[in-house]
Structure 1
């Protein structure tokens, strides 16, 4: 039914070919680099040559990727699972090779393995990334997607549809809704615009709705008024039709590592761990900040000296601008920046309030008349923020965190927004790599709260890597 099964099978077949090519390339290259074109180098006596070992290794590596479900269509194109499974399958394979070589006393050439693993793993990850870009381009035009029927209450349908529309690269396209127990006359969900195909709380009617909209999968969202036995029968019918079943609980902005599923009496109970940044985690983050910021200061010191000279020569004013910001737990500190505005910018702010283009408590103007000619260049590439590395070293900021707010902004915070102050503000963050000044106030808050709730050192590293791309593109920088 639908186009889902067809494109999924086609993508999986393509990945099998791509994986085989990359593995063959890596192993052949490792053999040639280690042994040249000599073919009689033996692993054990003259019985088994490295050519035979290479063939076995290639088949085993290709099979391990399949055993780890790294080509499963559900994870293609979005999220980190695809990369994690490729890495896990590869590392497990070579770990097993090391163990068997030690136990059976095989004299395996370490240079051969030392070349094959990093080259092959890097090639596989690069191939998966390129494949993902191809899928994302296809999804821009509506291809490689699963047509989704959303079953749930009116509010839950709207929320899930909006979330999936924002995450268009995830590969889910909401095409209709089904709202058991909804009032008469509820035929279109107002916020999402989805047509509501039924409201009877039985599996037969839902199956008819699936046929009507040619859905490839059904997402059961929060607030659905269906008896567990009906859901069970619905699952059986969907499996027989090769239609996917997705359960979407009422959890928002919760990262995967915080979610754990436990089977109790046949029920899949979802446990959500409490976010914390205490003890070892806090020490690790601080150590990472100090080491990385110190290296960046050393690397960028000549550039900072040049920028300071240019700012000073531009209008004779001070090179640095100090502004009071609010940090962790509401503590105020002086944030450093290269001055990108005229000297009396703060005094002229009141005259520009009516031109504010930002929402919420933020103040932003795309063509701010107070920005100097040098300041425009500094802002475009975020070079004005380099002195904040010294704030990081001093401990008032972190490399990655929520945007450092002004005291006037904090005064206007609602209760939930104050959770941004649970961690140190960052030189960069999710707001920096997601559009910067182009973000709405609601999106800025949502991203900052997501970071607070789901902090991890791996997440910080990923944000730092994305920051370089965001700075080069200068999207939303003004």
Structure 2
């Protein structure tokens, strides 16, 4: 290494394999990343606390519990303790899904409650400043810092670094599906390095989708201990009886491997899954999806307030866009279309017009050129789209008037894509479940590729949202929508 050359603190897991053995230092990146997150949270909290105290000038006070240093130190210590107690620094959640931000939010809420009770007990006059100014500022800074660190981690994973070596054990079909998913979504941090297959499959096929078959299902524990895999992914196969799964879990004790069992209900996840012990038997309890109640009421309030705020924010842009649309081609600025919403009720959706007037009459002539998936009609280079319309579609600006639909309650900020009546009429019973909730301005489909997605994948994402909806998931989708819109991928 030449002098002055920077050393990547997260080396690639590739090149760590020696005679089929993965060295333990290959997983040091997990602890390094954890230390970086802890340091960043600590520095961010200290910076906010110091800035708040300095800006509001609360150093001078007669009572000890009013002094700036006492309140500042107490607030920072309380936040850091809450983060540790809530396991917001657990390696299993860092860089993974919405759970990281859920724990971070829960920690800060706990800190706010404890700080409030402490302020009441001490009769502190300055405590409101720390509860209503400092803690929200800490939440904003730490969540932004965590998100930036996650983007950096995902970039490393796409380059083959910071990946957990996985041993997949199950039937060839289910293992192949797991391999395909890990390759499609490298940011999740898994890379299947080896496979164990059932006895009746034998070892005649020495690879599954390019991954070597190293043994049979009965050999899993031995390979994990000998080769140092970080994750053991157990996929469905008749071999896996409760007794064998329990024995495998016992045999993995003392190793660094995490055992992950894929349930039969593959698309049910998150807050709906609970493990309960009933009569000494561990049971996976699946709660009913939430379509009514307090959380839905909160979602409705957030939708309307968010839509009103965004309409005010984008009002100047919408006026300019309307003028450009009318100047580019004959016709009005807005396009109205009937769509199907919650419980199959039709409503009128608003969009900026992106096609020439009377474009619907030319659709039949273009039917043979349809590039849309399933029931969708899409053309990458649709001759009916205007010049301004091409730009509006690429960056989803044409959908801004749908904020009016959200404001009036026929749509939500986040939800499944609103289908056309003819699409909805062709739905089967399973696909009709997407009509159990309000359609959304954005959703999992938009942050996952939009029109580039196959029809089956788009439906799967919509149904997953219906089944696993949560306020935390909505927040993540809204955050990721901005990046998806700026990239313009899959929009045409």
TM-score range, shorter chain: 0.7 to 0.9
Return the match for 2:392 from 373, 378, 390.
378
Displacement after TM superposition at 1:200 (Å): 4.9
Counterpart of 2:366?
Answer: 352
Instruction: Output the CA distance in 1 between the equivalents of 2:258 and 2:193.
Output: 15
Report how many aligned residue pairs link the two structures: 470
Range 435-444 or range 153-162, more displaced? 153-162
Over residues 108-155 of structure 1, what are the superposed CA-to-partner deviations in whole Å (9 max), with x where a residue is unaligned?
654356554333333332332222222112111222221111122233
Query: In the TM superposition, what are the counterparts of 1:303-452 in structure 2 within 5 Å?
Result: 303-452=317-466
Over residues 152-205 of structure 1, what are the superposed CA-to-partner deviations in whole Å (9 max), with x where a residue is unaligned?
223332333333333322222111221233423453565x4433322253xxx2
Over residues 60-107 of structure 1, what are the superposed CA-to-partner deviations in whole Å (9 max), with x where a residue is unaligned?
543443333222211111112222323333433443343244335567
Structure 1 residues 10 and 280: CA distance shift in structure 2, 3 A: closer
Counterpart of 1:16?
Answer: 38
Instruction: Output the CA distance in 2 between the equivalents of 1:458 and 1:307.
Output: 32
Instruction: Output the CA distance in 1 between the equivalents of 2:269 and 2:345.
Output: 28
Over residues 243-301 of structure 1, what are the superposed CA-to-partner deviations in whole Å (9 max), with x where a residue is unaligned?
22222222223241111221234443221111131355555544444444345445545
Instruction: Output the CA distance in 2 between the equivalents of 1:298 and 1:55.
Output: 40
**TM-score using structure 1 length:** 0.86
Counterpart of 1:111?
Answer: 129
Counterpart of 1:78?
Answer: 96
Counterpart of 1:136?
Answer: 154
Give yes or no for the alignment of 1:250 onto 2:250.
Answer: no
Gaps of 5+ in 2: 1-22
Q: Say which SS state the counterpart of residue 404 (structure 1) adopts.
A: coil
Displacement after TM superposition at 1:375 (Å): 1.5
Q: Say which SS state the counterpart of residue 173 (structure 1) adopts.
A: strand
Instruction: Output the CA distance in 2 between the equivalents of 1:301 and 1:473.
Output: 23
Range 108-117 or range 217-226, more displaced? 108-117
Counterpart of 2:141?
Answer: 123
Query: In the TM superposition, what are the counterparts of 1:168-187 in structure 2 within 5 Å?
Result: 168-185=186-203, 187=205
Query: In the TM superposition, what are the counterparts of 1:5-44 in structure 2 within 5 Å?
Result: 5-35=27-57, 42-43=63-64
Structure 1 residues 421 and 49: CA distance shift in structure 2, 3 A: closer
Q: Say which SS state the counterpart of residue 11 (structure 1) adopts.
A: helix
Instruction: Output the CA distance in 1 between the equivalents of 2:243 and 2:84.
Output: 34
Instruction: Output the CA distance in 2 between the equivalents of 1:296 and 1:286.
Output: 15
**TM-score using structure 2 length:** 0.83
Structure 1 residues 290 and 68: CA distance shift in structure 2, 3 A: closer
- The root-mean-square deviation of aligned C-alpha atoms, in Å, is 3.2
Q: Say which SS state the counterpart of residue 198 (structure 1) adopts.
A: strand
Q: Say which SS state the counterpart of residue 363 (structure 1) adopts.
A: coil
Over residues 193-240 of structure 1, what are the superposed CA-to-partner deviations in whole Å (9 max), with x where a residue is unaligned?
433322253xxx223332565412212233351454443343233232
Structure 1 residues 224 and 105: CA distance shift in structure 2, 3 A: farther
Instruction: Output the CA distance in 2 between the equivalents of 1:301 and 1:19.
Output: 37
Counterpart of 1:156?
Answer: 174
Return the match for 2:212 from 185, 192, 195.
195
Alpha-carbon contact 1:146-1:216 (below 8 Å) kept: yes
Q: Say which SS state the counterpart of residue 73 (structure 1) adopts.
A: coil
Alpha-carbon contact 1:180-1:226 (below 8 Å) kept: no
Alpha-carbon contact 1:178-1:196 (below 8 Å) kept: yes
Range 424-433 or range 291-300, more displaced? 291-300
Displacement after TM superposition at 1:427 (Å): 2.7
Instruction: Output the CA distance in 1 between the equivalents of 2:328 and 2:111.
Output: 60
Structure 1 residues 307 and 420: CA distance shift in structure 2, 3 A: same
Gaps of 5+ in 1: none
Give yes or no for the alignment of 1:69 onto 2:87.
Answer: yes
Structure 1 residues 322 and 99: CA distance shift in structure 2, 3 A: closer
Alpha-carbon contact 1:70-1:82 (below 8 Å) kept: yes
Range 48-57 or range 415-424, more displaced? 48-57
Q: Say which SS state the counterpart of residue 246 (structure 1) adopts.
A: strand
Instruction: Output the CA distance in 1 between the equivalents of 2:315 and 2:111.
Output: 45
Counterpart of 2:5?
Answer: none
Range 390-399 or range 48-57, more displaced? 48-57
Query: In the TM superposition, what are the counterparts of 1:242-321 in structure 2 within 5 Å?
Result: 242-278=256-292, 280=294, 283-321=297-335
Counterpart of 1:459?
Answer: 473
Range 278-287 or range 148-157, more displaced? 278-287
Displacement after TM superposition at 1:7 (Å): 1.7
Counterpart of 2:185?
Answer: 167
